[in-house]
Amino acid sequence: MPDVLRSDVLRYLGQAALYAVFALLIGYFSNSPRYRHLAPDEALLRLSFSHPGKVMAACRERGAAELEKMPANMRQSQDCPRERSPVRVSVELDGAPLYDETFAPAGLQHDGAAAGYRRLPIPAGEHRLRVKFNDDARIAGFNYEHSQTVHPVAGDVVLIDFAADRGGILIQ
Amino acid sequence: MPASATLSVSGICMAHDTSRSAHRDIPAAQSARNLAANVFHVLERAFDRVFGVAQNPLRQLGALGFYLFWIVSVSGIYVYALFDTSIDGAFRSIETLMIEQPFAGGLMRSLHRYASDAFALVIALHLVRELSYGRFSGFRWFSWVSGVPLIWLGLAAGIGGYWLVWDTLAQVVAIAMSEWLGWLPGFGDVIVRNFLVQATLTDRLFSLLVFLHIGIPLLLLLGMWVHIQRISDPMTLPRRNLGANLLGVLLVLCIGVPALSQAPADLARVPAELPLDWFYLFALPLLYRTSPGELWLLLALATMTLVLLPWMSGGRRPAPAQVDLANCNGCSRCVADCPYGAVVMQPRSDGRNHPREAVVVTDLCASCGICAGACPSSTPFRSASAFVTGIDMPQWNVSMLRDRLDQALTGLQGLSGSVVFACECGADASVLAQPGVAVLRLPCIGMLPPSFVEYALRSGADTVLVGACAEGDCEFKSGEELMRARLKGEREPHLRANVSRERLRIVSSVDPRELERALGELRSVSNGFESAHSSIRSRRGRVPGRSNA
Ligand code: HEM
Ligand code: SF4
Ligand code: SF4
């Protein structure tokens, strides 16, 4: 074979090989190696809530003298502090404490809802969950409590939520 | 006087010898960069041999980025036309697309995926290449810094795409992303609540995601446009063959391994194992290995380092070009040739009878010297005493170049000699130096006024070899191309037609062996014609061509 032709053939083979490497690289790393998100016998416990705690102080009636001193457009008979209570959450799994945390209300004036999110892989199988909430810092201890047995299989999500209008603590 | 001389004009070139670069890096960073630069060199040479220099993908990574962006856009528009932007519809519409149009739809969807992956790969290589060649400081700061947001936008666009399929992968990605964003003050742990139970998912949220997946790539395109603003003739499309082959290879991949969805999202479960697109989702495992806060810190540090890099290396910048009005006739050739738009024409300020004059925008100047090579006043056939041209480099001007050429020509006396003009950033031409061969290196071959070739040939050199950077991959963008055009007579200033082209050769390569081969051929041809030039004339003072004005 003449040299020129042979070197051309080699060049084309080289190109084909490099294009193949490129395609393999793209094709492979586009979905491999697989990422193990949870161990094979694990379920996932999620705690997620967004709940406005109780307003910390009751409204106060303003006296006439006090109202007199205020600008006319701001004269309201009640003074209502807007600060809300932080929300404390305690979670026990099979009698052992998992979390006991306090979540601050949002907003510069602490007048928003408190929100929390935690994720934790747990072994699949039967568990006893005990969840307690306190949304009023003026009360010691907790003002909501709920216990439930859950049976997540591997890969199931157990979600702890809070909805005051649906009876408080929800486990689903 | 030695018969040969290797004369180096400067040390400006960073790309091909990082140890000579102007940077003062931390030693470890410097040696890592050297290593990377060497790896790139070896690969580029190998690819040159296989693809040919012009078609070498490693030499046009940025252009490939643009090209892949367009492929992703076109395939994306096709898929979007058939996409249902609702929670229930999203997954189904993509499955339907694959079933009802296994060919067009399946192909387009797979192409959208794989071209995006290729885009990420190509841009990563582009970054590493510019980094290892030290192309981030000095006048290049703008290209470098404007590249950094493109990484974020590219990743955001790609990751956003994975949400839209709304399969189990989408679900994991959406939740992980919300967990990560939720760490930011002001966002809070509420974002993630959008993705925890099917009931809270709304079609409106989905429309927002679709809107983002269109908006972010548009921002990316805008950013890409800004990114190349400082380059006067940027290469934004690859060579045609390369582009066609690349598209072909991607299509073969799409047919062979179509991109598929996972099972539909089910928020009551998490998939234990996931096929990840590592080009875009590499941060997901990182997030669960560390924490949202740590991942933010890591990314913030990496971004800051990249943005500040141009100033961290503390390299001193070579001085920018300077105009000498007495020698500027306002012809604007320097403006036409400057690769960085660093010269502009302005109304005359010195009262001479030309309407305009050249002015250097010093911030944009790369100190490549190409303008000096373009200026008609740069001809060496001028008065011996004060050789000053219209626009020139303070540290290495054309007068110095002529002095060194004169010296070299003296060294060639009595031999059938060759002069090699070579770019410092191209092949290392110093290996060619030997009795009878004088090597002069310039910061960029575009700095060479073509009249210097004629001058060398008329003043004693038998042959002239011009060595430039690889075709289409000039360190200063266009020096190689301009020089070729000047020597062919296609561009001003041109090499005069009566100069024998048999005694001249231009080689564009980073491989010194190619220069050696060309020089050997040139010299064997020139041995053929009786050399009238072996009787050497005196150079200083009475050079034949030089008018002693
Ligand atoms: C969407 C992603 C990107 C695209 C499409 C892109 C494209 C391009 C193009 C087309 C050029 C001009 C090439 C030429 O004509 O020679 C260029 C130059 C450059 N790019 Fe990028 N680029 C991207 C991202 C980046 C990133 C992330 C960096 C680094 C942080 C970067 C650093 C540079 C530098 C320093 C230059 C200037 C090279 C020079 O002046 O010699 N680019 N890019
Ligand atoms: S030295 Fe280069 S970048 Fe500067 S003005 Fe001249 S041609 Fe333009
Ligand atoms: S090329 Fe020279 S003469 Fe022409 S405008 Fe530029 S500096 Fe002036």
Do B506 and B469 meet the contact criterion of CB atoms below 8 Å apart? Answer: no
Per-residue pLDDT of A65-83, as tens digits, reads 887 888 878 777 777 777 8
Eight-class DSSP state of B54? T
Which distant-in-sequence residues (6+ apart) come within 8 Å of B343 by Cβ?
A: B321, B334, B335, B358, B359, B360, B361, B371, B391
Chain A contact present for B200, CB below 8 A: no
Which distant-in-sequence residues (6+ apart) come within 8 Å of B517 by Cβ?
A: none
Q: How far is CA B537 from the centre of its chain?
A: 44
pLDDT band at B478 (very low <50, low <70, confident <90, very high): confident
Alpha-carbon span B456 to B450, nearest angstrom: 10
Chain A contact present for B244, CB below 8 A: no
CA distance B200 to chain A (A): 13
- Topology classification of domain A42-55+85-171: Immunoglobulin-like (2.60.40)
Per-residue pLDDT of B65-123, as tens digits, reads 999 999 999 999 988 887 777 777 777 788 787 777 777 788 898 999 999 999 999 99
> Is A49's pLDDT higher than 90?
no
Contacts of B51 in chain A (CB under 8 A): 11, 15, 18
Contacts of A33 in chain B (CB under 8 A): 276
Nearest CA to ligand 2 atom 4: B365
> Is B341's pLDDT higher than 80?
yes
Alpha-carbon span B470 to B45, nearest angstrom: 10
Considering only CB atoms, B193 lies closest to which of A27, A39, A50, namely A50
The amino acid at B454: E
* Chain A interface, Cβ < 8 Å to B: 11, 14-15, 18-19, 22-23, 25-27, 29-40, 42, 44, 46, 48, 50, 103, 106, 113, 115-117, 119, 154-157, 159, 161, 172
Residue of B nearest to A152 (CA): B269
Contacts of B114 in chain A (CB under 8 A): 26-27, 30
Per-residue pLDDT of A139-148, as tens digits, reads 888 888 888 8
The amino acid at B306: L
Chain A contact present for B249, CB below 8 A: yes
Per-residue pLDDT of B139-170, as tens digits, reads 788 999 999 999 999 999 999 999 888 888 98
Which distant-in-sequence residues (6+ apart) come within 8 Å of A75 by Cβ?
A: A67
**Residue A172 to residue B197, Cβ atoms within 8 A:** yes
Neighbours of B292 (CB within 10 A): 17
Contacts of B271 in chain A (CB under 8 A): 37, 155
Predicted TM-score (pTM) of the model is 0.80
pLDDT band at A4 (very low <50, low <70, confident <90, very high): low
> Is B530's pLDDT higher than 90?
no
In degrees and rounded to multiples of 5, residue B284 shows phi and psi of -65, -55
Question: Given this model, what pLDDT does residue B528 score?
Answer: 59
Alpha-carbon span B125 to B119, nearest angstrom: 10
**Residue A22 to residue B249, Cβ atoms within 8 A:** yes
Contacts of A15 in chain B (CB under 8 A): 50-51, 245
* In chain A, domain spans: 1-35, 42-55+85-171
Alpha-carbon span B124 to B126, nearest angstrom: 5
**Residue A18 to residue B50, Cβ atoms within 8 A:** yes
Q: How far is CA A57 from the centre of its chain?
A: 28
C-alpha dihedral (B278, B284, B288, B292), degrees to nearest 10: 140
Alpha-carbon span B52 to B48, nearest angstrom: 5
Q: How far is CA B340 from the centre of its chain?
A: 12
CA-closest candidate to residue B9, choices B332, B429, B299: B429
Q: Which residue has the higher pLDDT, B483 or B434?
A: B483
**Residue A115 to residue B190, Cβ atoms within 8 A:** yes
Element (H, E) at B517: helix B512-528
Chain A contact present for B275, CB below 8 A: yes
In degrees and rounded to multiples of 5, residue A106 shows phi and psi of -80, 165
Q: Of chain B residues 509-548, which have a CB less than 8 A from chain A?
A: none
Alpha-carbon span B413 to B534, nearest angstrom: 7
The amino acid at B35: L
- Within 13 Å and on the Cβ side, how many CA atoms surround B223? 20
Supply B78's token pair. Answer: 């096709």
Point out the ligand 2 atom lying closest to the alpha carbon of residue B476.
Answer: 2
CA of B334 to the centre of ligand 3 (A): 5
CA distance B256 to chain A (A): 10
pLDDT band at B133 (very low <50, low <70, confident <90, very high): confident
CA-closest candidate to residue B504, choices B420, B408, B380: B420
Could you identify the residue written with the tokens 């446009």? B225
Alpha-carbon span B180 to B288, nearest angstrom: 10
